[in-house]
Structure formats: structure tokens, C-alpha cells
Copies of this chain bind each other. A is one copy, B any other.
Amino acid sequence: MFLENANPLVDEMIQILNPKGEVVKPEWMPELSKEVLLKMYKTMRLSRIIDEKTLQYQRQGRMLTYAPNLGQEATQVGSAAAIRQTDWVAPSFRELGVWLYKGAPLYNIFLYWFGNEMGMKMSEDVRILPISVPIASQMQHATGLAYASRLKGEDDVAVAYVGDGGTSQGDFHEALNFASVKNTANVFIIQNNQFAISTRRAIQSKTRTMAQKALGYSMPGIQVDGNDVFAMYAVTKEAVDRARRGEGPTLIEAYTYRLGAHTTSDDPTVYREESEVEEWRKKDPLDRFRIYLYSQGFWSEAEEEAYVKAQSEFVKETFESVEQSGMTPLEDVFDYVYAEKTPILEAQYQERKAFYAKEGK
């Protein structure tokens, strides 16, 4: 529908739900049950609450570095809703909505950002690789995941997320090329939130769209309104289905905006005007989705209020229990370097332990 004749050199970006919450392309509207719609909305709403809370914790000095997703909820949840539970995700570090939608416990997510690796150990069923900090490198893993699925006779798709900044890395290019050449079941989603820390999108690439980079791999490339959850869902769904049928990979550019800071250690006022952010607030993905749900009678202000209240409490409690989780025990530092501690690691572990004992720690 979207992909076959997409021409990212000239096409307008795909939009179904406009900023006013109106369905402007009813013919493209995906068929989604009320249940799924509400799961999507609630996940986005929860993501927003988490981002707001963490900002607050950060101001209170209770938080380490954290990368907020504010403004990118539709990109993340719209795409996540289009993939199957057994499909793989190779994330970057700013995909809270995807984690939540795929069933990652918030406790784990907080634990990770709180500085404990144990957060990334969750049920295998979540099928998301751990947060990957080296920009764009995770895209290569996605190609291997998809290759392995096919070899094992499974039809799972592997979805990789990357930022607009990430498109500049060599790994971006190599992963797209591998997927194209091997025709693996991959979907690559660029979260073009207009910034790589302070560096604007225009500095990363002179191209009109990021989607047009797909042309270098003879792969469909398409630009989507990343603040439109339906457009994100519909296009991702087509790409995922296509990949699952063995018809190859797709590159999706989600055109969105990072409303918050890069991370809690970043001060965006250094490099952008508040007025620019204001303009983008008018395109808020959450607002337009809510208006739509209200208009359909799927959701009400009362429900909204109750949900926000309950989830705020949930987030608070979860964070507080993470705060109580304490420090990483010494053995955890040594136990996961290899399947079995090497003799050298064992000796180093014993030395540190003896030192703590001596110091009375």
C-alpha cells in the first residue's frame, strides 16, 4: 500500500491522523480493535508520565542519566504495536515506548537507568536486546537476528531503531546493505527527532529525507509522520508483514521531535529556542491520539484522569522500590563477564572480597 511505489525523493510524508486529531486519510486507517487502541494509548500515556516523573526525580537529585522520549511516543508505540511478540527488537537507548509495549517491566527499566545492569535481565519473551549505547551499532545485530530466524525456519522479523544522528555512522550503511543483499526480514526505523544532542538534522545529512537513503540499497524507504500513531502503525505493519513474507527489508523514517532534553545531563536551551519547541508541542502525538479516542467514545476525560492518577502512583512506587534496591553486589560484577569466572577473575574477586572484609565493609 505504502511501500511498493514509495519515492522518498519526492513523496509527502505519510499522515493519517493530523495534529487536530482528525483522520485525514480514512482509506489508510488501520483496523485496530478498541482493546489494542487503548493498549497503545495507555502505553504512550504511561511513557509520558515516566518521562515527567524522571525529570522531577532528576531535579531532586534522585536520578542518574536518563534519556526522555517526550514527543516520540507515537513513533515508538505505533511501530511496536505493529510487530509480533516473537519479533526481535534491536533498540538504541531512547525506546521506552517500545519496551513498555513489548512487556518490559518498568522496574527493570528504572533499575537499568538507576545504574544496575540487572535491569536488562528480563523475560526472554520481551525479545528486545539490551540498550545499545554505541550509536547505530545495534542495526548490525538486527541483521544477524533476522538471518538466524530464517535459517532456523522461523518467520520472526527483526526491527532496529536508530536516531537521525545514527544515520551518519558506517554501521547504518553496512546494516542496510547486508539486509538488502541477504534479503533478511528487517525493518529499520529512524527516529528522526531533529537532533543528535545539540547537532541539528541538517548537519547529519543534506538529503531532503532520511528515508531516501534506502535508494542506495534498492530497498523501500518512506517518511512517516512520527507523531501520528496510526501512520506509524500502518506503515510499520506493512513493512513487517512484507519482511515476514520474505520480501525483504524496509527503511522507515519517523519524522518527529524530541520535546525534552537529550538526556537529563543535557540543557537544550543552549542550542534551541523555546519557540521552536512550542511549535512542535502543537503537533503532540499524545494529544491528537486522545482527541481521536474521545471522538470515538473509546476513552473519556474521567478515564484519562483516573489512569494518569493510578499510573503516576505506579511509577512513583516503582521508582521508590528501585531506590531501595541498593548497590550492585560484588559478585555481580564478576559473574557475568564469562559463563564461568576465569581463574584470574576468581582471584581478583577473592582479593576484593578479602579487602572488603579487612576494611570491615
Min Cβ gap A52→B in Å is 35
Min Cβ gap A116→B in Å is 33
The answer on a CB contact under 8 Å between A206 and B212 is: no
Whole-angstrom CA separation of A208 from B216 in the bound complex = 10
The answer on a CB contact under 8 Å between A207 and B218 is: yes
- Which segment of A63-71, A144-152, A170-178, A281-289 sits at the interface? A170-178
Chain B residue at minimum C-beta to C-beta distance from A221: B216
Asked if A9 lies at the interface with its beta carbon under 8 angstroms from chain B, I say: yes
Interface residues of A in 218-247 (CB under 8 A from B): 218-219
Interface residues of A in 88-138 (CB under 8 A from B): none
Min Cβ gap A267→B in Å is 25
Whole-angstrom CA separation of A183 from B215 in the bound complex = 21
Chain B residue at minimum C-beta to C-beta distance from A207: B218
Whole-angstrom CA separation of A174 from B168 in the bound complex = 6
The answer on a CB contact under 8 Å between A216 and B212 is: yes
- Set B169, B180, B204, B216: member contacting A216, Cβ < 8 A: B216
On chain B, the residues within 8 Å of A9 by CB distance are 215
Min Cβ gap A62→B in Å is 39
Chain B residue at minimum C-beta to C-beta distance from A169: B170
On chain B, the residues within 8 Å of A207 by CB distance are 180, 216-218
On chain B, the residues within 8 Å of A177 by CB distance are 168, 204-205
Whole-angstrom CA separation of A169 from B216 in the bound complex = 13
The answer on a CB contact under 8 Å between A181 and B203 is: yes
- Set B168, B169, B173, B180: member contacting A172, Cβ < 8 A: B173
B-contact 0/1 string along A192-220, CB 8 Å cutoff: 00000000000111111000111111110
- Set B169, B171, B205: member contacting A181, Cβ < 8 A: B205
On chain B, the residues within 8 Å of A204 by CB distance are 177, 181
Whole-angstrom CA separation of A195 from B207 in the bound complex = 30
Chain B residue at minimum C-beta to C-beta distance from A175: B170
Whole-angstrom CA separation of A206 from B213 in the bound complex = 14
- Set B171, B206, B208, B217: member contacting A205, Cβ < 8 A: B217
Whole-angstrom CA separation of A206 from B184 in the bound complex = 12
Whole-angstrom CA separation of A9 from B216 in the bound complex = 10
On chain B, the residues within 8 Å of A216 by CB distance are 207, 212-216
- Set B172, B173, B218: member contacting A206, Cβ < 8 A: B218
Interface residues of A in 157-192 (CB under 8 A from B): 168-174, 177, 180-181, 183
On chain B, the residues within 8 Å of A214 by CB distance are 216
On chain B, the residues within 8 Å of A215 by CB distance are 9, 212, 215-216
The 12 listed contacts between A and B (C-beta, < 8 Å) are A169-B170, A170-B174, A177-B205, A180-B205, A181-B205, A181-B206, A183-B206, A205-B218, A207-B217, A213-B216, A215-B215, A215-B216
Give 3 nearest A-B pairs by CB, closest first. A170-B170, A173-B173, A216-B216
Beyond A180-B207, A212-B216, 11 extra complex contacts between A and B, CB < 8 Å: A168-B174, A169-B174, A170-B173, A172-B173, A177-B204, A180-B206, A181-B204, A181-B205, A181-B206, A206-B218, A216-B216
